[in-house]
Structure 1
Amino acid sequence: MSSAKFWDNVLEHDEELLWTGRPKPRLHWRNWRLYGSAPMAATGLLVAAWFIIATVGAEGDMWLLVLPALLVLIPLRATRQQLQTYAATRYALTDRRALFFQVGAQETRVKAYPASAMTVPERRNTLPPSITFLQLGSGKDYRIGFDYVEKSSDLRTHLERMTQ
């Protein structure tokens, strides 16, 4: 499907497309959310190693050879899954709403949030920067936005105009 036809199907009558983008996270310590629950998994495996040593003793040493492999494989798998999710994500900002697309092989899912849910944009220190600008409930914990946006200054300019 051509890009123009795609937007004709998505945008409402007289709705103006202001910005489109997609997340492009870089592997970096600042992007700890990419790694999913890897630290929790590693902690669980270390507890399992301690349990094996404490209960089985020297006969359990063979099982301990599996744990270092798992300490690497589980975080790698979690990171790969997270990166695949971001690779299938697209963002759009219109003069009326913010759109989140999840592009799949069979279908594209869209979530739309009205401009009334937008708050003053806040930059999160990720590489590239993430910007939160949607307040979905009460409290700061319910703020979401576009993650890992290259050239986020362009997006931020549009968002600041919309929230004034």
Structure 2
Amino acid sequence: MTRPDPWQDILDPGETILWQGRPDPRPHWAALSLHRAASGLVVTLIALFWIGVASRITSDGDFPAPFHLFPLFGLPFLAVGLYQLAGHVLWEAYRRAHTWYTLSDRRAFIATDLPLRGKTLRSYPITSDTILTFDDSDLASIGFAFEPVPMKRTTRMRGVGFERIADGRTVYALLRGVQASAARTSQGVHPE
């Protein structure tokens, strides 16, 4: 019995996969910023102080039952403080551990399987107009798209790409090849 091709309904006719890989899942501690960690530390300490003082007051006093929940109001602030302190680095490592990359001769795909979001697969066409960015480190990152991120009063653009991959130069060369092929096709020159 032949196993069905999982890409059968995803790839266009004639589209072929050039590369597949995964990002490095280890925490990238260099992503910590002093400013973010300092503000996270302050929020964490304030939350711990709140929880401690509120627990002490409500445990020593003769308060009605709802007041015993008062220390729990510090938990959201504790979570935000810990996330700002170093949690964002651990979350990004977790996200990368549940991410898969694929490059075809036409598109780049990013698949994720995250809690609450489930499985997602996004594809990004690689055209002659695609802006490629390349961070040539031991674990390279290659950008090829931008997505809007809504903020309170505005929208910020976030770069999208293959992050922290071991074979960055090879993948960048493949992306440049896809881009060159797209340019030839848009000019009416078809590969033989």
Q: TM-score range by the shorter chain?
A: 0.5 to 0.7
1:16 — aligned with what?
Answer: 16
Q: Is the 8 A contact 1:30 1:125 kept in 2?
A: no
2:159 — aligned with what?
Answer: 143
2:178 — aligned with what?
Answer: 162
Superposed displacement of residue 38, structure 1: 4.9
Opposite residue 159 of structure 1, the aligned amino acid is L
Larger radius of gyration: 2
Q: How does 1:22-61 map to 2 (within 5 A)?
A: 22-32=22-32, 38-45=37-44, 48=46
How many residue pairs match? The answer is 143
Q: How does 1:85-164 map to 2 (within 5 A)?
A: 85-103=95-113, 108-116=119-127, 119-124=130-135, 128-136=139-147, 141-164=157-180
Query: What is the TM-score normalised by the length of structure 1?
Result: 0.64
- RMSD of aligned C-alpha atoms? 4.1
Change (3 A) 1:43 1:87: same
Opposite residue 19 of structure 1, the aligned amino acid is W
Query: What is the TM-score normalised by the length of structure 2?
Result: 0.56
Identical aligned pairs, as a percentage?
A: 26
Change (3 A) 1:160 1:12: same
Which consecutive residues of structure 1, in runs of 5 or more, have no partner in the other structure? 57-69
Q: Is the 8 A contact 1:31 1:126 kept in 2?
A: no
Aligned counterparts of 1:135 and 1:81: Cα–Cα separation in 2: 21
Q: Which has the higher helix share?
A: 1
Superposed displacement of residue 24, structure 1: 0.5
Superposed displacement of residue 104, structure 1: 5.3
Aligned counterparts of 2:164 and 2:3: Cα–Cα separation in 1: 23
